[in-house]
């Protein structure tokens, strides 16, 4: 009887022990995020961190950024074993209400861990290469306001096109192809009013996705991104818009994009001169717009 009672107690203890092991809370460790140059995404989107463990993404949590660039959170409690096994950190842009547990295509930053630190960069934004050698040219001309066969109509200061003048003009942008989830967008900045889009694009030798401001004679425009500014001026802007002397920008935008303003990534910035085509204007690399940082586990 004593032996049977002892055996019953032992089995009961074993069962309780197994149950406790199954229900035990995993040990946690802190992941510290030190990032500079991020911007407010508005109410519809958040930033989310991920660690890559055995080839699979594991969320480390979400955060927002205010207008001053300050993160709402910089330290995250993560499963200690997973954090120790992580090889890479990735930062993505996610919907604020997100039914999909997987990372979105809009991956902004990534870096491999070396010891306990990962230095992050813009590798996920491009499908190949990086922005280190980004450059380009643009010219002023108004091809959508020209009557075919009659030549230039003398108002070329009202349009900007990203490439080299010719018949037809050719692309002049030296930029890497973008990964899924991103598009390029052109802008002309009007001081005191704001930036004016020329349209988004992913190919450099094709029209972009917008010609809503262009003229009426040849509204399709040439086979490169750009815009003429004649019609449908947004509130606050006056058309025709003289582009001479204005700042011209190529940005990288998340897709989908909930903001009418340029995103924080602005790899190319230039100033339009006083001469119209065939003169060209140079873009310069704007690396100061790129976010930087380190992740420490």
11 part of a folded domain: no
Residue 52 phi/psi, 5-degree rounding, is: -95, 115
From 121, 149, 181, the end of a domain falls on: 121
* pLDDT less than 50: residues of the chain: 1-21
107 plus 159 within the same structural domain: no
Backbone angles phi, psi at 71, to 5 degrees: -80, 140
Instruction: Please report the sign of the dihedral spanned by the C-alpha atoms of residue 151, residue 157, residue 161, residue 165.
Output: positive
Residues 148 and 225 in one domain: yes
**Residues 104 and 212 placed together within one structural domain of the fold:** no
Both 113 and 140 in one domain: the answer is no
pLDDT in tens, 104-127: 999 999 999 999 999 999 999 998
Quick one: pLDDT at residue 25?
84
> How far, in Å, CA of 138 to CA of 247, rounded?
12
**149 shares a domain with 58:** no
Q: Which pLDDT score is estimated for 93? A: 97
Q: What is the pLDDT of residue 17?
A: 35
With respect to residue 217, please indicate whether it lies within any of the assigned structural domains.
yes
Domain annotation covers residue 17: no
The answer to whether residues 252 and 157 belong to one domain is: yes
Q: Based on the domain organization, do 107 and 187 belong to the same domain?
A: no
Same structural domain, 93 and 165: no
Q: Are residues 141 and 232 in the same domain?
A: yes
To which H or E segment does residue 256 belong?
none
In a domain, 35, yes or no: yes
Structure tokens at 141: 């001309």
Asked whether residue 284 is domain-assigned, the answer is yes
Q: Are residues 170 and 267 in the same domain?
A: yes
Residue 297 within a domain: no
Closest CA to 228 of 206, 250, 207, 243: 243
H or E segment to which residue 8 belongs: helix 2-23
pLDDT at residue number 256 = 87
In a domain, 95, yes or no: yes
Please count the structural domains in the chain: 2
Domain boundaries, position 35: 27-121
Q: Are residues 274 and 143 in the same domain?
A: yes
Of 99, 121, 143, which one is at a domain's C-terminal end? 121
pLDDT in tens, 133-185: 999 999 999 999 876 555 567 899 999 999 999 989 999 999 999 999 999 99
Q: How far apart are CA 29 and CA 271, in angstroms?
A: 49
296 within domain boundaries: no
Helix (H) or strand (E) segment spanning residue 4: helix 2-23
285 and 171 in contact (C-beta within 8 Å)? no
Residues 227, 88 share a domain:
no
Domain end among 94, 121, 148: 121
């Amino acid at each position: 009887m004593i032996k049977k009672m002892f055996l019953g107690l032992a089995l009961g203890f074993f069962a309780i022990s197994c149950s406790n092991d199954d229900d035990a809370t995993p040990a946690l460790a802190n992941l510290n995020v030190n990032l500079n140059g991020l911007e407010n995404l508005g109410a519809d989107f958040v930033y989310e961190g991920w660690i890559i463990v055995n080839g699979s993404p594991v969320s480390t949590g979400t955060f927002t950024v205010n207008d001053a660039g300050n993160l709402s959170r910089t330290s995250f409690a993560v499963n200690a074993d997973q954090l120790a096994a992580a090889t890479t950190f990735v930062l993505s842009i996610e919907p604020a209400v997100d039914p999909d547990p997987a990372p979105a295509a809009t991956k902004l930053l990534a870096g491999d861990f070396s010891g306990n630190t990962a230095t992050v960069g813009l590798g996920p934004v491009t499908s190949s290469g990086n922005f280190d050698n980004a450059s380009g040219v643009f010219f002023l001309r108004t091809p959508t306001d020209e009557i075919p066969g009659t030549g230039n109509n003398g108002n070329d200061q009202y349009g900007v096109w990203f490439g080299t003048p010719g018949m037809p003009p050719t692309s002049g942008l030296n930029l890497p192809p973008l990964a899924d989830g991103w598009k390029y967008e052109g802008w002309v900045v009007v001081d005191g009013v704001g930036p004016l889009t020329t349209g988004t694009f992913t190919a450099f030798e094709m029209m972009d996705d917008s010609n809503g401001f262009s003229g009426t004679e040849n509204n399709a425009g040439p086979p490169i991104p750009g815009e003429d500014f004649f019609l449908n001026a947004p509130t606050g802007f006056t058309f025709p818009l003289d582009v001479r002397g204005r700042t011209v920008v190529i940005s990288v935008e998340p897709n989908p994009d909930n903001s009418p303003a340029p995103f924080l990534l602005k790899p190319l910035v230039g100033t339009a001169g006083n001469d119209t085509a065939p003169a060209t204007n140079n873009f310069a690399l704007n690396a100061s717009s790129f976010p930087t940082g380190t992740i420490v586990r």
